[in-house]
Amino acid sequence: MIKFFLMVNKQGQTRLSRYYEHVEINKRTMLEAEVIKNCLSRSKDQCSFIEYKDFKLVYRQYAALFVVVGINETENEMAVYELIHNFVEVLDKYFSRVVRHSIYYEIFLP
């Protein structure tokens, strides 16, 4: 089961967040900061799956954007990894030129 879905730029700013389980607002901020720190600190050679507290993080980097999904331990990591890619392809079709010009983060600016 998916617990949350985050889109974060390289500066660590959250551009999109969606929670599928109740998390208090103050805890969301702390959770996002820790998750972002864990994902941004990893090199491209490292695996895109991280065990974190009582769940797993699956992330993918597209240019300046990180897409991070928090899942429970029974979920299939590869399926979520592909889900992220499909989501990004839909964004590319809807907004056009998202992938080709590496401007993901511009879509989500406030």
pTM, 2 dp? 0.82
Q: From CA 99, how far away is CA 56, in angstroms rounded? A: 26
pLDDT at position 59? 95
- pLDDT number for residue 101: 46
The predicted structure's pLDDT at residue 107: 47
Q: What is the pLDDT of residue 97?
A: 61
Residue 76 CB contacts under 8 Å (≥ 6 apart), including other chains: none
pLDDT at position 108 over 50: no
Least confident of 17-21, 69-73, 99-103: 99-103
CATH number of 2-108: 3.30.450.60
Residue 42: CB atoms within 10 Å: 14
pLDDT of residue 32: 92
